[in-house]
Structure 1
Amino acid sequence: MGVRTANVQDGNIGDTLYGLADVIHGRRDASPDTSYTAHLLQPEMGDKLLSKLAEESSEIIMACKDNDHDHIRYEMGDLLYHLLVVAEKYGITLDELAGELNARRK
């Protein structure tokens, strides 16, 4: 588990996700030696990225079992970040994902 985030304020999830997706997209061309995101986007890092999804999912489960609100939120942030890296790696836009979710509501 990482260090808990201090002074968390509510925000707009749409703005936040689009902003983070833009940052991740911008890191595609960064040096993998200086950017964790660029490192994860390297073709040979596919298994590492998938293992990070499994790790973060497990950490959310454990935080839920502990009924630890702040820890759940923290781990959800980690998982969403790694999911957005997966989306960037495989060319899935947030609008496409929204379309998938919207289609399921009908």
Structure 2
Amino acid sequence: MLEELQEIVEERKRNPTPDSYTAKLLYHEKGEDKVLEKFGEEAVELILACKNKDKESIVYEAADLLYHFVVLLSKFDVKVEEVYDELRRRKK
């Protein structure tokens, strides 16, 4: 699933359109700071949902965090598969 999401993000990175939220993040005037800021914001929102023990919000915010995680990886030219490879290496 994350690979599919990354394909979509990469497509929007290659072919940005004015109505694409992904492209707006990737090409924001603040540059990489905007992507980092959004990832941090989403992490805090997930933490708060967990603190509130609100399962519906946890699921929603976790999805937001995963999306912004993939955007962050894309901004820094890292593939999800590279993260999986690192996790596999740690498993040994």
Partner of residue 66, structure 2: 80
**Unaligned segments of structure 1, at least 5 residues:** 1-15
Q: 1:1-106, aligned counterparts within 5 Å?
A: 16-28=1-13, 29-31=15-17, 33-42=18-27, 44=29, 45-106=31-92
The code of the aligned residue for 1:20 comes to: L
Instruction: Find runs of 4+ consecutive structure 1 residues off by over 6 angstroms.
Output: none
Cα RMSD between the aligned structures? 1.3
Q: TM-score if structure 1 supplies the norm length?
A: 0.78
SS at match of 1:30: coil
**Unaligned segments of structure 2, at least 5 residues:** none
The structure richer in helix per residue is 2
Partner of residue 7, structure 1: none
Higher relative contact order (Cα pairs below 8 Å, separated by 6+ residues): 2
CA deviation profile, 1:22-76 (whole Å, cap 9, x unmatched): 1111101212x21110111127431111111111111111111111111001001
